[in-house]
Amino acid sequence: MEDIALLPLGAVLFPGGLLPLRIFEPRYVDMVRTCLRAQSPFGVVLILEGAETGSTVSVADVGTSSRIVDFQTQPDGLLGLLCRGEQRFRVLERRQQADGLNRAAVEWLPPAARIALDAKYQPLVTVLRQAIERLANLGQFIEPAYDDAVWVSNRLAEFLPLESASQQRLLEIEDANERLEILAPLIETGL
């Protein structure tokens, strides 16, 4: 069990995924400063009820730790971050600090072992490669593993235009092939 800062969002982050953020609230600027100083991750969790700004009412039980890989001050003065998802966790207990920052005691879920991509899913790799080519500057931060079913299923789950609740269900699935079984028909039918 470990205590980490939480960033509740209206989006789901998968292990290995990239998350661009614009930070402006003082509680999150402080969180970023602390994470950079300590070289520690923070947790990203989906908001189930509430809003990104203000007091969050309810968040998902499963989230992904995130580490800052790049940052810069934006032209509008806000802090721009690029974060990479690392490891899934389960929230055991959540609390809110006086400054409004959410923190949680979490248990780390076992990292998914690489699984060879089944040949029947190879056409999905073509779609995925095309999507990644369109990412321009973000593409340089992607660490591709097109032969790994875990990596491919995570990237497809985050790139497809799915509702956040559907992405959350996919994040919570342990088996990459099960995730691919759900995603493949969405791509084959053109969504």
Distance of CA 16 to the CA centre of its chain: 8
From CA 59, how far away is CA 74, in angstroms rounded?
29
pLDDT in tens, 118-144: 999 999 999 888 888 887 677 677 888
pLDDT in tens, 16-67: 999 999 888 889 889 999 999 999 999 999 999 887 666 666 899 999 999 9
For the chain, give the mean pLDDT.
Answer: 89
* DSSP code at position 148: B
Question: What are 45's strand-pairing partners?
Answer: 8
pLDDT in tens, 81-131: 999 999 999 999 999 999 889 999 999 999 988 999 999 999 999 988 888
The pLDDT assigned to 191 comes to 40
**Entry field: residues in the chain:** 191
Whole-prediction pTM: 0.90
